[in-house]
Each structure stands twice: as C-alpha cells, then as structure tokens.
Structure 1
Amino acid sequence: MTRGNQRERDRERAMARSGSKTKTKDDGLTPEQRRERDAKALQEKAAKKAAQAASGGDAGGDHNFTFHKEIRDSALFILRGRGED
C-alpha cells in the first residue's frame, strides 16, 4: 500500500504547528558576557542557599550535598568554556 503524499502533508502540518518555536541563543550577548551573567546568577543562587541554610531552613540532609555538587559542576563548566582546565 502506498502512502501517497501523506508524509509530506504530515511534515507540513508539523512545521505549521511548531511555527517559530525554534531554539536560538540569540540574546545579543557574546559568549564572555553570557558566562559572566551565568556566573553571577550562580553566585546569587549560592548566596541565597547559604542564607537559607544559616537560618535553619535546610531540613533535607542530602540536599545540601546535591546543591554543592551542582555548583561545582556549573563552575567547572564555566571554566572549561573559557579554555581553563
């Protein structure tokens, strides 16, 4: 059994549904500016979590370890992006 132009129609419909939802990194920043922005966001996140832990808001023992691993991995990613290992 042949499918005729069903595949082509399905592709056209899929493209129409997705429209212009393509992922782009065009935020007008250079890679260096993006790294600085991301590093600042990570520092703010770490400061917020440290303040929360200092006030006794850390009730989930293993969560603290996971958070620090996440910060370490993010910092390594940023450093590797600059070519520093």
Structure 2
Amino acid sequence: MSGFNLAATSKEDQDKVAIDLVASGVAYKERLAMPVVAELVAREQPEHLREYFWGRLEHYRQVSAQLPDKNATEYAKKEDEVKR
C-alpha cells in the first residue's frame, strides 16, 4: 500500500478518507472513555457526508468492541517508565 497516493484520488475519495479518520478517532476516544460527543463531531462534517460519517462510526464502534478497553493491561504503564 506504500504506492497508494491519496493526492491522486478524487476529491470525494479524499473527503471520505478524512471522514473515516474522524470516525475512527471518535470510536477510539469512546473506547478509552475520553470526552467526545459524536453528535457535535458529526455537525462539523460536510452535510452531504454526515450519513457516511455515521455509517463509518458504527463500523469503528463494532471494531472497537473487539479491542481492549482503557483498563487493559496492554495500556498500563510500567512503574519504571513512570519514574523516568
């Protein structure tokens, strides 16, 4: 995929990639219990892409449900790293 150039895609495809990034960010913050309001984020997106945003957000929420939550040991910092 290193040969894939987003600048060579259509503006519509670039916008959809940007929406995907925003939707995945919302799902990430929700999973880690960080403050985020999906409705406010959706309002910031272009009106013609809001339905696409909601679809992608639902997809990323489903993917996120399979990942560890904020209390998982994978995210716990080791005591040595904290003291540095």
Q: What interval of TM-score do these two structures reach, taking the shorter chain for normalisation? A: 0.3 to 0.5
Normalised to the residue count of structure 2, the TM-score between the two structures is 0.40
